[in-house]
Chains A and B, each alone.
Chain A
Amino acid sequence: MSVELTGAEITIRCLQEEGVECIFGYPGGAVLFLYDELFKQDKVRHILVRHEQAALHAADGYARSSNKVGVALVTSGPGVTNAVTGIATAYLDSIPLVIISGQVPTNAIGLDAFQEVDTVGITRPCVKHNFLVSDISELATTIKKAFYIASTGRPGPVLVDIPKDVTQQKAPFVYPEKLTMRSYNPVVKGNAKQIKKAVDLIVSAKRPIIYTGGGVILSDAAKLLTELTRLLNYPCTNTLMGLGGYPATDKQFIGMLGMHGTYEANMAMQYCDVLIAVGARFDDRVIGNPKHFSNESRKIVHIDIDPSSISKRVKVDVPIVGNVPDVLKELIKLLKNSKEEPDKTALQEWWHQIDTWRARDCLKYDRDSSIIKPQMVVEKLYEVTKGDAFITSDVGQHQMWAAQFYKFDKPRRWINSGGLGTMGFGMPAAMGAQLANPKAKVACVTGEASIQMCIQELSTCKQYKLPLKIVNLNNRYMGMVRQWQEFFHGNRYSESYMDALPDFIRLAESYGHVGIKIERPEEVEDALKEAFKLKDQLVFLDFITDQTENVFPMVPGGKGLSEMILV
């Protein structure tokens, strides 16, 4: 007979069994027994954030930067509702998280008890799965399932809601070694016949393109993707979520595609004859108007672990349901043995065409400006960090410039909220990335509006000595909103001016950090160098940038990919 433990002990033991080293949370009435158990042990480190939204983003950044499951712990009621934005953020980008939430005691559920909300109901549409544990005998298995579901197949957040009385009750503890779930068996290997079909199509291409997304990052398939792309000598483009999946400094890389993608990537996407999609979901920000996209006759191969990602917005010709690395390995093997070879002359012509598009230099900006150009700050950040930092971002123009101008050669270095587009994500995500990679350089590229959405986390950074570099591209506007208003709403800047900004330098200093204000282009590089020299300090770099700068290229909503507004 195994020993009897309380529900709280069991929960923490489960986390230990899963090898969880770090969790992010905020205490409250319903989770007091859990916090008591955390107190009594030292295997699982708890990071106390200042707002539950940040706990989720930090766990998320931790997961994205490490490929471990991120874990957050929040109390019932407002603890959960505060966490919802973070849960939805992780859900839309398919990030593996386990969220443990406290709930009112089982006998109080449904009575509008103090700090009671229907957590399972509120979070249902934005989790991969969730559980209410009403019986302590199911607690350990449920937590095991949560980790399993979160990290396998298409990853995602899984929430486990534990009523307070369950954390108090006792039960024997056995952590199940294996799980079998008859209703959950994600596919791994791709169908051999489909892979064979894909190979035939791939070698027959005259104007091919490889389009990859978050699935390559999530499944750690960057090396295999690089091998495949080089083997074929085909051009490669990444989605916002797929950056780092293929080295951005490589000549076969043609940049990000989509709404703010490069001219060459979008044109190649529109005019290719064979499209090889790998772990990407044909998002509306990526293909523009699907009607325009479908007008072109092209054949599509789509590799994705989630059947519902396939043929959702764009019909594909060769669907392959499977795990990216498994399918790529098989593809590479078959391609190496294939007697057919791609048409070299056609490919050469295609590359020639792409180079003509490239020559358009769609990311150019005024390098001689006497006002700081935000693009230049990101370029300098890239140089100063030698392209080797973890870069998180918030949401807006700065996010797009970070994506366009920081050349990500490695996966998991670019951490941003693409699907939900959550302002406030950047700094807490950077905290998570820093905790998962204590020795690494971590910078958060943000804007003066976004950073204020989780600014309270400067306090958490102080407490845990997280030496983040906050790169604030301060244009005094919700720049992305202002840009749309300029283009599509007759320059009426309705409520997009950021008035009454704090003095970010003194604000940072009041939390015990270093603040630097940079107003001239020639100071940018030195400021960044100085910031990274301060290895143990969080440095808030407030760059006063050009208010009028816009993100180009831009595919306006409802337009086809080739209808870009160019600078």
Chain B
Amino acid sequence: MENEAGALSRVAGLFSARGYNIESLSVAPTEDPTLSRMTLVTKGSDDVIEQVTKQLNKLIEVVKVIDLTDGNHIERELMLVKIKAVGSDRDEIKRLVDIFRGSIIDVTEKSYTVELTGTSAKLDAFLDNIDNSIVLETVRTGASGIGRGDWVLKV
């Protein structure tokens, strides 16, 4: 979409006005600074997704809409999570972070801050493996997606 003030609120407004849900949304400028690229994750029946797509296309600032799930695509999300890490938990957490190929990017005597990227499902899985009571803070970016292979989304 056009990299203009207000474009994002039009998209968000559309979803709330029409009762569609936004699971996650991530947006930033592209290699062409006049354009932003947004990855938006939503759920719905085929009919709802068809309407969502049509309604998004109607927004004047939206240049192009594609449904990444129509084809092969790659999806990544970044998560920062602060975990209470004392005693035996410290090793336990470290091991888990290694298994999930994350990294510990900040350490105190009582906590670790972990950085993890992957599909949203992988991040969920990581959290599922940690006792909820020691998770102090989570920050997730929402998924960013791109098509696989040589295919490119051009305007």
Contacts and interface: CB of A to CB of B under 8 A. Distances in A.
B54 A124 contact: no
Interface stretch (A236-244, A245-253, A305-313, A550-558): A305-313
A129 B63 CA distance: 14
B17 A125 contact: yes
Chain A interface size band reads 10 to 19
B116 interface: no
A132 B10 CA distance: 14
A124 B13 contact: yes
A275 interface: no
A480 interface: no
A128 B59 CA distance: 8
Interface in A176-227: 181-184
Nearest to B2: A183
Contacts of B57: 307-308
Interface string A306-328: 11100110000000000000000
Contacts of A184: 60
Interface in B51-107: 51, 54-55, 57-58, 60-63
B50 interface: yes
Contact of B54 (A132, A183, A308): A308
Contacts of A502: none
Given A125-B17, A308-B51, A311-B47, A183 B9 contact: no
Nearest to A145: B60
Contacts of A308: 51, 54-55, 57-58
B60 A311 contact: no
26 contacts: A120-B6, A121-B9, A124-B10, A124-B13, A125-B13, A125-B17, A128-B60, A129-B60, A132-B6, A149-B60, A181-B60, A182-B155, A183-B1, A183-B60, A183-B61, A183-B62, A183-B63, A184-B60, A306-B58, A307-B54, A307-B57, A308-B51, A308-B57, A308-B58, A311-B50, A312-B51
Interface in B4-30: 5-6, 9-10, 13, 17
A128 B14 CA distance: 12
Contacts of A128: 60
Nearest to A153: B58
Contacts of A132: 5-6
B16 to A, nearest CB: 9
Contacts of A121: 9
* B interface SS class: helix
A132 B155 CA distance: 25
Given A125-B17, A184-B60, A308-B55, 11 more contacts: A124-B9, A124-B10, A124-B13, A129-B60, A182-B155, A183-B2, A183-B60, A307-B54, A307-B57, A311-B47, A311-B50
A316 to B, nearest CB: 12
Contacts of A182: 63, 155
Contacts of A306: 58
A149 B61 CA distance: 12
Nearest to B17: A125
A558 to B, nearest CB: 20
Contacts of B6: 120, 132
B17 to A, nearest CB: 5
Interface in A98-154: 120-121, 124-125, 128-129, 132, 149
A128 B57 CA distance: 12
Interface string B36-57: 0000000000010011001101
A121 B55 CA distance: 18
Contacts of B9: 121, 124
Nearest to B1: A183
Nearest to B63: A183
Contacts of A124: 9-10, 13
Contacts of B10: 124
Contacts of B58: 306, 308
A129 B7 CA distance: 11
Contacts of A311: 47, 50
Contacts of B5: 132
Contacts of B62: 183
Contacts of B1: 183
Nearest to A134: B5
Nearest to A183: B63
A129 B60 CA distance: 7
Contacts of B54: 307-308
Ordered nearest first, which 6 A-B pairs have the shortest CB separation?
A308-B54, A183-B63, A129-B60, A307-B54, A125-B17, A184-B60
A121 B6 CA distance: 9
A183 B35 CA distance: 11
Contacts of B47: 311
Contacts of B50: 311
Interface string A145-185: 00001000000000000000000000000000000011110
A124 B13 CA distance: 8
Interface string A259-292: 0000000000000000000000000000000000
Contacts of B13: 124-125
Nearest to B16: A125
A342 B15 CA distance: 45
A135 to B, nearest CB: 12
